[in-house]
Amino acid sequence: MKVKTILVSQPAPKTENSPYLELSEKQKVKIDFRPFIHVEGVSAKNIRAQRIDLKNYSAIILTSRHAVDHFFRVAEEMRYTVPDSLKYFCESDAVAFYLQKYVVYRKRKIYVGGKTFEDLAKVIKKHKDEKFLLPSSDKLKEIVPSTLNDLEINWERAVFYKTVMSDLSDLQDVFYDVLVFFSPSGIDSLFKNFPNFKQNNTCIAVFGNSTVKAATDAGLKCNIEVPTPETPSMTMALEKYIIEVNKK
């Protein structure tokens, strides 16, 4: 079945040089964006109920930009002045650079992992005397707590924000040739919004092993799986698929 329309289950790119825009123009396909999930902050009152007092921690573990945003949001709601001495342990360069939105980067103690949480764990291991706080979502990869426990450090987790399924009811009678997913939560949202969803001829594109598993567990056939050595990005994989099916 030829591809004419694609729905990406994420917010629309904010940059004009998005690879999706290039793909749309080059392959003459319509690409829409719609977040299937969104993040909602947890109140300071709720965090206090988790027995979290920000002044008790000397280091913060940040695994995403959401974690950065909601840590500083909660600090403000609690009227807590974040000390210059606080140490930030960031899973990636992207998270570390994002800190500049809230702190003067060169004046803070910021430590960065690599590409994975295991890379960050190696850095954390060198600072065992710190008391760490992990501000996280209600959905946390099991590897994070298990890795931190293996380090035998003093750490606590607190849920600062939650992943919430978006209302997609306005898409009830809208059909796309390709649906693109980047997380298991996106798959969950699809079936929460449309319990009777049938794949039929719809192509399902998924990013990451956990998303593949969620899709197959839900009875979907994954037509496009990313990343692969040949197609490391979703746009590359989509273009390859479009060229193959549209030439028939």
- In one letter, which amino acid is 86? L
Q: Considering the domain 5-36+168-246 in this protein, what is its CATH number?
A: 3.40.50.10090
Selection from 98, 101, 48 nearest residue 75 by Cα = 48
Non-local CB neighbours of 145 within 8 Å, separated by 6+ positions: 157
Span 31-60, pLDDT tens digits? 999 999 999 999 999 999 999 999 999 999
The pLDDT, as a whole number, for residue 14 is 85
CATH architecture of 40-163: 3-Layer(aba) Sandwich (3.40)
User: What mean pLDDT value characterizes the chain?
Assistant: 95
Confidence label for 16 from pLDDT (cuts 50, 70 and 90):
confident
Confidence label for 29 from pLDDT (cuts 50, 70 and 90):
very high
Tell me the whole-structure pTM to 2 decimals. 0.80
Give residue limits of the domains in the chain: 5-36+168-246, 40-163
Length of the chain in terms of residues written: 248
The pLDDT, as a whole number, for residue 97 is 94
- Report the interhelical angle of 143-151 vs 117-124 (nearest 10°): 20
Residue 104 class from Cβ within 10 Å (0-12 exposed, 13-18 middle, 19+ buried)?
Answer: exposed
